[in-house]
Chains A and B, each alone.
Chain A
Amino acid sequence: MAVLLLGEVTNGALSVDATAKAVNALKALGDVTVLCAGSAAKAAGEAAAKIDGVAKVLVAENDLYGHRLAEPTAALLVSLAGDYDHIAAPATTDAKNIMPRVAALLDVMVISDVSKVVDADTFERPVYAGNAIQTVKSSDPKKVMTIRTASFDAAGQGGSASVADQAAAEDPGLSKWVADEVAKSDRPELTSAGRVVSGGRGVGSEENFAIIEKLADKLGAAVGASRAAVDSGFAPNDWQVGQTGKIVAPELYVAIGISGAIQHLAGMKDSKVIVAINKDEEAPIFQIADYGLVGDLFQIVPELTEKL
């Protein structure tokens, strides 16, 4: 059995954490080949070759893949599919865009957000905002899936896989890139951070979010937000944690001014230690928090930042 894994490449660099977690999830299924596609992808390919458990790396360097448009990358994966039984990617927004398209082109179902690999045909995945875990068995000849990275540890370093160039596939010519609006940040990436500090509607404004960011910086943490905070314009969209945002499972998750709606919990309840700060002692977030502190966040958070 052979596995083709689409590596997560952004601006020529491999997201080692997401890719290594997917490798770990998949390596029991067979030899893992990682495909790195991008307008620059050589460095990403070399990084992928060093992940423990990777058997081979394919590098497809072409401007077609520069902005991860779904149609060309899906066409490339389909052109390679013949040699593999499993075609997978970490469940990033890019992969969620691409993999269902690949599956439909191969006339198979996609299996989204796999949280456990039971055997070559059987997988666990969360449904209903994580309120149920479904075990599904696929009867398709090929399995196309995305891997929920928060559910797996990263494979180690120390691999030395061979790296080969891969020619581009045909360009479907259906879409083109216009612009990116990406905030530069020195903070750790949300889905791989060891610590996350999140703010909700209780924070009250974009300016007030600075106190959340100060605590995060003191802890070396990534910053997250509830949907209400993002919808209200306190925080950018890519900070949203939850069922329909990012799924995180850090060592420490601090929820500040967040009530604990099921859609939010779906994105963070697998964190090792959860701290909740909320002025409402009845807030549902306290039902899953390891340490709860009832009170006004505008007093508590600056004090906590100072005392850490």
Chain B
Amino acid sequence: MKVLVPVKRVIDYNVKAKVKADGSGVDLANVKMSMNPFDEIAVEEAIRLKEKGVAEEVVVVSIGVKQAAETLRTALAMGADRAILVVAADDVHTDIEPLAVAKILKAVIDEEQPKLVIAGKQAIDNDMNATGQMLAALLGWGQATFASKVEIEGEAAKVTREVDGGLQTIEVKLPAIVTADLRLNEPRYASLPNIMKAKKKPLDEKTAADYGVDVTPRLSVVKTAEPEGRKAGIKVGSVDELVSKLKEAGVV
């Protein structure tokens, strides 16, 4: 079975995003970028399926600017076999909407015919939490989102999902889309020899136009603003002082 993992290049999770002074967006020039953390988890899961002999090939795909090739190399160094980069923007500040990403991914999937797609549950920049579900809809496939456990059983995947009340287990027919939640696994670090080896693994470069997908956004960003700040309050010296402050504030 072939597994396909879409990976997104995003601002590193340790970096605090800064809004540009003109309100046009978040400043991404000279900011450290990394693979979306949920996508590292997705790649790890795919590699584990390969190590277990369930999957034969792991293909990673990224859609965005040329620099996303670095993100794909990271996935190859972790253990993916092959990468596809779909260049759909020139400027690092251009983000492609999940609907357009899902349409491009659908076109890639029509060619590649994977039996399982593992995406991240959300990208930590736009926090949309949408691409996997949209892709499932476009393909007419079943979806198992927010996965914390994935087992392949014949022609189905049994997936445990993190939901508001706790956990839910469902079974989806393959081919299907799974989206990875935080506790699915702990992604490995790529070792230096594997980073070197990854440089020789195949990375195909395409453009959105190759797939005939229109990436014109449906949402336009009117403005981006800093949220209202919260000022630091006071330090209290004892539990008694805390209790009296909370009483004054009327919250206990």
Contacts and interface: CB of A to CB of B under 8 A. Distances in A.
Interface of A: 10, 67, 69-71, 74, 92-94, 96-105, 107-113, 122, 126-140, 172-183, 191, 195, 219, 227, 230-231, 236-238, 243-244, 246, 251-252, 262-263, 269, 272-275, 281, 286-294, 300, 303-304, 307-308
Contacts of A182: 165-167
A178 B170 contact: yes
A133 to B, nearest CB: 5
Contacts of B170: 67, 69, 175-178
B243 A304 contact: yes
A175 B183 contact: no
- The 8 lowest CB-CB distance pairs between A and B, nearest first, are A174-B142, A290-B233, A100-B133, A104-B137, A128-B17, A104-B134, A100-B130, A109-B218
A27 to B, nearest CB: 23
Chain B residues touching A, range: 35 or more
Contact of A101 (B128, B133, B224, B249): B133
B26 A139 contact: no
Contacts of B182: 227, 230-231, 244
A101 B171 contact: no
B233 A252 contact: no
Nearest to A178: B169
A67 B170 CA distance: 9
Interface string B100-113: 00100000000000
Contact of A293 (B130, B171, B227, B242): B242
Interface in B67-100: 97-99
Contact of B251 (A128, A140, A272, A288): A272
Interface string B198-233: 000000000000000000011111111111001011
Nearest to A289: B233
Contacts of A130: 227
B99 A109 contact: yes
B137 A180 contact: no
Given A132-B226, A134-B221, A244-B124, 10 more contacts: A70-B143, A127-B17, A127-B224, A128-B125, A181-B166, A191-B164, A238-B162, A238-B165, A262-B16, A288-B232
Contacts of B164: 92-94, 191, 238, 246
B127 to A, nearest CB: 6
Contacts of A112: 127-130
Contacts of B171: 175-176, 178
Given A180-B166, A289-B232, A134 B127 contact: no
Interface stretch (B1-9, B53-61, B144-152, B189-197): B144-152
B173 interface: yes
A127 B137 contact: no
Interface string B28-66: 000000000010000000000000000000000000000
7 contacts: A70-B133, A96-B129, A175-B176, A179-B168, A183-B165, A238-B166, A286-B232
B171 to A, nearest CB: 5
A291 B233 contact: yes
B68 to A, nearest CB: 18
A74 B140 CA distance: 12
B26 A132 contact: yes
B127 A133 contact: no
Contacts of B26: 127-128, 131-132
Contact of A180 (B141, B165, B176, B183): B165
Nearest to A102: B137
Contacts of B217: 109
A237 B148 contact: yes
A150 to B, nearest CB: 13
Contact of B221 (A126, A135, A173): A135
Given A110-B134, A112-B130, A175-B142, A244 B122 contact: yes
A103 B99 CA distance: 9
Nearest to A129: B124
Contacts of B172: 174-175
A220 B233 CA distance: 24
B162 A93 contact: yes
Contacts of A113: 127
